[in-house]
Amino acid sequence: MKQKRKPKLAVWKFASCDGCQLSLLDCEDQLLDVTAEVDIANFPEASRAVAKGPYDLSLVEGSITTPHDAERIHQVRRSSKFLVTIGACATAGGIQALRNFKDVKSFTSLVYASPSYLEVLAKSTPIADHVFVDFQLRGCPINKLQLLEVVNAFLNGRKPNIPGYSVCMECKRKGIICGLVSHGPPCLGPVTQAGCDALCPSYHRGCFGCYGPKETPNTASISEWWMKQGMSDGELLRLFRGFNAYAEAFRKESEAHEE
């Protein structure tokens, strides 16, 4: 029987902490299965060997923050059949997008001795603002099981089972008692996309919104309710200005609470 060519997988890094691509290495038990099915052609965190493109599947981590990266992402797109962004940076601009709410120069002058050597863009932006993205995998960091599901769906030519509904659905399926109702706010679960298997609520913490806004998020309603419960504009602003601060629904909500 003729050996089928294994699909080539590449991992690319832009402005990010590497946590998401490490999720791939973290798939210990399944990593050998993955390498049996795909050729890992480019994965700097794991190996310096780089196989030439084109690539069948590119996983892109990180946001676009420099003019150089804004060029490089087009090369990645050109050499990739499927491009999947992984994590909050690549999908929403990441925690570094907090600077989008201020003038970036006010930060660079504080951090660097000679900021004039830096070439940075005014904003940290998601990959989809620059090139066409085939699928966005959310999370800060991503859930390795969801990553496997995406790779798996790609290999088998099917739609990934990555739902757009709320974290509350996972909470309730797990039988977790809702902390929002039984202890008090805040918990961003009702406006945040599922995917973490309700990690924080499982440990009696409110959801921080790592997976970004869910489908049809109604952030205005929950904020209005929480203000009636005594939360302040400042608290609400900080709540929505986390890892997904620049995702549209969270950005608009935090801006509505600017003083």
Residues that bind ligand SF4 (CB under 6 A): 167-168, 171, 176, 178-180, 187, 189-190, 198, 201, 207
Q: Which does 207 bind (CB under 5 to 8 A by kind): other proteins, ligand SF4, none?
A: ligand SF4
The residue among 180 and 210 lying less far from ligand SF4, judged by its C-beta, is: 180
Q: Which does 186 bind (CB under 5 to 8 A by kind): ligand SF4, other proteins, none?
A: none
The DSSP letter of residue 117 is G
CB of 166 to other proteins, least distance (A): 4
CB of 17 to ligand SF4, least distance (A): 25
For 91, residues 6+ apart whose C-beta sits below 8 A from its C-beta are: 85, 126, 127, 128, 136, 137, 138, 212, 247
Q: Is the peptide bond before 67 cis (omega within 30 degrees of 0)?
A: no
- Beta strands in the chain, from DSSP E residues, in sequence order: 8-13, 39-42, 55-61, 80-86, 135-137
Q: Which does 76 bind (CB under 5 to 8 A by kind): other proteins, ligand SF4, none?
A: none
CB of 225 to other proteins, least distance (A): 4
Q: Which whole-number Å values give the CA distances from 6 to 9, 37, 83, 166, in the listed order?
A: 9, 6, 17, 36
Burial 172-191 (b: 16+ CB within 10 A, else e): eeeebeebbeeeebbbbbbb
Q: Which does 204 bind (CB under 5 to 8 A by kind): other proteins, ligand SF4, none?
A: other proteins
Kindly list the residues in this chain that would bind other proteins in the complex (CB under 8 A): 30, 33-34, 36-37, 148-149, 151-153, 155-156, 158, 161, 163-166, 168-169, 172-175, 177-183, 187, 189-191, 204, 214-218, 221-222, 225
Sign of torsion over alpha carbons 249, 197, 233, 230: positive
Q: Which does 201 bind (CB under 5 to 8 A by kind): ligand SF4, other proteins, none?
A: ligand SF4
CB of 105 to other proteins, least distance (A): 38
Residue nearest to ligand SF4 (CB): 189
**CA pair distance 143, 26, nearest whole angstrom:** 10
CB of 184 to ligand SF4, least distance (A): 11
103: three-class secondary structure by DSSP: coil
- Asked if residues 30 and 146 have their Cβ atoms less than 8 Å apart, the reply is no
One-letter amino acid of 1:
M
CB of 193 to ligand SF4, least distance (A): 11
The residue among 34 and 199 lying less far from ligand SF4, judged by its C-beta, is: 199
